[in-house]
Homo-oligomer: A and B are copies of this chain.
Amino acid sequence: MLSFTEENYLKAIYHISESGANDVSTNALAEEMKTKAASVTDMLKKLSQKDLVEYKKYKGVKISKLGEAVALQVIRKHRLWEVFLVERLQFNWDEVHDIAEQLEHIKSPLLIKKLDAYLEHPKYDPHGDPIPDENGQFGPISRTPLAELQTNSTGKFVAVKDSSSPFLQYLDKVGLYIGATILVLEIIEFDGSREIEVDGQNKIFVSQQVANNLLIH
């Protein structure tokens, strides 16, 4: 049985590999886990021992097939719980992360099976992130940053790249929500900000940074 900490390391390794890096460095992991490099080294030895990662001294880690399967199940649980919190308990989407961080470690395959059924097998969490199925498979994911849309083209807002509270609260404030149709009215050369139209209704300005963090399809 894996500890919460071991599960969190695997999730962190998975997430870092996902966004680029082939081998995950000790320092990158230390930062992600908010701990020190020396502690990471200790843990990597343990995870390697258990065949959850492939680790070679000074060479970084790569998650193993087994480790990936574990990480995906934890991610599945995290995202299912987020759906539950938002859709059933009426949490706002910026409030659920920390609670899901706790709930994702509850050990009961039957619980997840029943929760999934209760939620009617959701495919995406409240931030638009895909929920792996029982076998760790994702549904289709096709999304690009709003920043890549040309002037006068439209897209459907399907996910956020940054799911920090401040960003989500900003989106609430300006009336941007997942599912909205976005039309790019104008791209300002100077700073890369954009004027966009949401659902054919209100027009708003968003910075380049915001445009990079809104994923559309």
Contact = CB atoms under 8 A, between A and B. Distances in A.
Number of copies: 2
Contacts of A89: 111, 114-115, 118
A99 B108 contact: yes
Contacts of A95: 110
A110 B95 CA distance: 10
A88 interface: yes
B111 A106 contact: no
Size category of the A interface is 10 to 19
Classify the secondary structure of A's interface with B: helix
A106 B99 contact: yes
Contacts of A170: none
Given A88-B118, A115-B89, A106 B103 contact: yes
Nearest to A99: B108
Contact of A102 (B85, B108, B118): B108
20 contacts: A85-B111, A88-B118, A89-B111, A89-B114, A89-B115, A89-B118, A90-B114, A90-B118, A91-B110, A91-B114, A95-B110, A98-B108, A99-B106, A99-B108, A99-B111, A102-B106, A102-B107, A102-B108, A103-B103, A103-B106
Interface of A: 85, 88-91, 95, 98-99, 102-103, 106-108, 110-111, 114-115, 118
What are the 9 tightest A-B residue pairs by CB atom distance, in nearest-first order? A89-B114, A102-B106, A99-B108, A99-B111, A89-B118, A88-B118, A103-B106, A90-B114, A89-B115
